[in-house]
Structure 1
Amino acid sequence: MTELLSFPTFLRMIAERSAAFRAAVDAAPGLDADVPSCPGWTLYDLANHLSEGDRFWAHIVRNTAPGDERPSKDGLAAPREREALIAWLADSTEQLLTALREAGPDRGCWAWWEPLASSHTVAAAARRRVPESLIHTYDAQLASGAPQELPTTEAVDAVDEFLATVCTVTVPWPGEPATMDYHAAGAGSWRQTVDAAGSRSTRLTAAEAAESKPTAAVYGTASEIALLMYMRIPADSLRIEGDADLIQRLQNWG
């Protein structure tokens, strides 16, 4: 079991990545710039999506409990003028951070994921918003022509959180049982196991990683592994051992 980062750390990461997102919006040639990693979206569409998500989760942590029905979004659209949009983004993030601080990490709230490795709490919601800001900042930087490597600490937790929240499910895997190992250089290793019981993951020790014989294994930096999981870079841009098609099957299954 991986020791989680602290709740204040998640809040700091949200604030920092959101500020980086606004900087990318400010640096872009225009709000109509295409986002290569989100086909069909402009930079405005991406900004509207991120701000909508911040406001949506602010509402969730203030007003919902585990087991509630999925709440409705407010339907408000972000302004289309750049300066006003940047101010709207900042206000959206502040609404989220204020709601998270006021609720505290242990309060229960609605969540869309199965409460197996990741709980239905405000702390888990805050953790989920970090990769949202992290990956979409990368998207915005692509649109502005200046993509940057993901910060290592955020990238490592994004990998761990993705496996715990998105990939830990009881939906039966439709193929033969398989194991997928992810090795982030200097940052750790994980194993995802899929079978009739669903999907689950564990953090591997250095000795376990060295001795493991998975169905497939992928090697890269923490940034590359996180971007691969969020389908921002192709699997064949990384070193893969074993059944290289397993990554595509996992992505199609998800």
Structure 2
Amino acid sequence: MDHAAYIDQIRLHCAAMRAAAEKAGPDAPVPTCPDWTVRDLIAHVAGLQAWLEVSLPLPPEGPAPDEPRVPSDWAELLDWWDERVRNVTAGLAATAPTTRTWSFVPGFGADAGWFARRQAHETAIHRLDAEHAAAETVPSLLFDPEFAADGIAELFELLPPAPADRSGTILLHAADAGRAWLVTLSETEPLRVDDTPAEPDALYADARVVGTADAVYRAVWGRPGHAVVSGDSALVTTLKSF
């Protein structure tokens, strides 16, 4: 996926999230985010986008931007978030993806392309959260296979390069996207990921997470779905909390 496609995804998922949030109402619980209300969910996403809006034009070595003041009033929050979405997507669209920018962790997510991709998946997963809050039944949302597979791969860029609490291998297989990942967790070595191993069905793994890209995407981000988990399920839980 290219830079412009990620920005389109941000707009798409923010619009759908807003519609779901209005349907649910600010005080509705978010089943997929325990202890959060819809107001908390929107404040979280809007606050992240406000931070990105002010940090995007800053040099990597500059001082940290001020923390954004997120409105508490529901109507004001929604209007404020609308402005953040417009400004962030316009700012990302006007910035070359290789442009380095300020980041809380030097060298991590320090260019506009990284932030566009991160926001695309941040808003996609939280759109799903909002739809769970608004739905009387399971939401009908299905993510595009290419986008969902990209979200699985992006997770591995976010996981810390550190040993885990358990050792073992996990095979993630997104069949409709033609993608698979063999994840090796170790108590003594950093996490290792082998992308698109050949003939994934023939590979041995201590645990497997198999399904459509949509299903595996939800599984690795800890959201309910239809992925089939077999083998040592505790390893999959370790990956989610790593």
Q: What TM-score bracket applies, with the shorter chain setting the length?
A: 0.7 to 0.9
Post-superposition shift, 1:202? 2.8
Distance 1:181 1:96, change over 3 A: same
Corresponding residue of 2:193? 201
Long gaps (5+) in structure 1: none
Q: Which runs of structure 1 show a deviation greater than 3 angstroms over 4 or more consecutive aligned residues? A: 67-72, 110-115
Contact (CA 8 Å) 2:220, 2:239: kept in 1 or not?
Answer: no
Q: CA RMSD in A?
A: 2.3
Q: Which deviates further from its counterpart, 41-50 or 241-250?
A: 241-250
Indicate the SS of the match to 2:181.
strand
Long gaps (5+) in structure 2: none
Contact (CA 8 Å) 2:174, 2:210: kept in 1 or not?
Answer: yes
The whole-number CA distance in structure 2 between the counterparts of 1:17 and 1:62 is 24
The whole-number CA distance in structure 2 between the counterparts of 1:69 and 1:171 is 28
Distance 1:70 1:183, change over 3 A: farther
The whole-number CA distance in structure 1 between the counterparts of 2:161 and 2:78 is 40
The reply to whether residue 230 of structure 1 matches residue 221 of structure 2 is yes
- Alpha-carbon deviations, 1:173-200, whole Å to 9, x = none? 3433x22111123112112222333113
Corresponding residue of 2:205? 214
The reply to whether residue 41 of structure 1 matches residue 36 of structure 2 is yes
Distance 1:70 1:175, change over 3 A: farther
Contact (CA 8 Å) 2:102, 2:110: kept in 1 or not?
Answer: yes
Distance 1:210 1:69, change over 3 A: farther
TM-score by length of 1: 0.83
Corresponding residue of 2:11? 15
1:131 to 121, 124, 131: 121
Q: Percent identity?
A: 25
What amino acid is aligned across from residue 34 of structure 1 in structure 2?
P
Contact (CA 8 Å) 1:78, 1:88: kept in 2 or not?
Answer: no
Pairing of 1:92-241 with structure 2 (within 5 A): 92-111=84-103, 120-145=110-135, 147-152=139-144, 153-163=146-156, 165-167=157-159, 169-176=160-167, 178-187=168-177, 188-195=179-186, 196-205=188-197, 207-233=198-224, 238-241=227-230
The whole-number CA distance in structure 2 between the counterparts of 1:192 and 1:64 is 35
Indicate the SS of the match to 2:114.
helix
Indicate the SS of the match to 1:186.
helix
TM-score by length of 2: 0.87
Contact (CA 8 Å) 1:217, 1:242: kept in 2 or not?
Answer: yes
What amino acid is aligned across from residue 154 of structure 2 in structure 1?
E
